[in-house]
Structure 1
Amino acid sequence: MALFVEIIGWTGALLVLAAYVGVSTGRLSGGSATFQWLNAVGATLFVLNTWWHGAFPSMVLNIIWSVVGFVTLWRIGRRRMSRS
């Protein structure tokens, strides 16, 4: 189980890093669905990893981070639906 939790944590780290690099290099927009998915899923995976390790301040930060990402994705979807 510990190895699985570490894999989850490293996957989350890579997703958040990919989002940051994408925005920093201009390949992604901060308002894009891809950027939001990378951040929201990455943060969610961090929540699982930090909970396992008892890193509660980091866990709370990542809960908030993932909620912001998923709310933004919901808004992006709602905008797309209203246009069609």
Structure 2
Amino acid sequence: MTLSIFLIEAAGWIGASLILGAYILLSAGKMQGNSPAYQWMNVIGAAGFILNSGYHGAIPSVAINVLWIAIGGFALWRIYKGVKPV
């Protein structure tokens, strides 16, 4: 396995771990859905999925994770602008 393939696979596993970890922490009440940490874990995790899925040609996964990043980015924008959740 070349270094570049290793890094692409690592990005996918790290991305999966971040998204799963965020969900576990949210479900356990250790993190709030409107916290920057939760949103950043999802955004960075989705970026790892995009890298890995794009390399493997899994276009539906790329598309859903682009949307995942957009949702997380919008949530982060609201958090940093001080917009209260609905």
The runs of 5 or more residues in structure 1 that have no matched partner are none
**What amino acid sits opposite 1:13 in the alignment?**
A
Could you state the TM-score of these two structures normalised by the residue count of structure 2?
Answer: 0.88
**What amino acid sits opposite 2:56 in the alignment?**
H
Could you state the TM-score of these two structures normalised by the residue count of structure 1?
Answer: 0.90
Match of 1:22 in 2: 25
CA displacement, residues 15-59 of structure 1 (integer Å, 9 cap, x when unaligned): 001100011100011111111010011011111110000000011
Superposed structure 1 runs of 4+ greater than 6 Å apart: none
Identity of aligned residues (%): 41
Which residues in structure 2 correspond to 1:1-84 (within 5 Å)? 1-79=4-82
Q: CA deviation at 1:75?
A: 1.1
Q: How many residues align?
A: 80
Higher helix share: 1
Between the aligned partners of 2:6 and 2:52, the Cα distance in structure 1 is 11
CA RMSD, 1 decimal = 1.1
Q: CA deviation at 1:70?
A: 1.1
The runs of 5 or more residues in structure 2 that have no matched partner are none
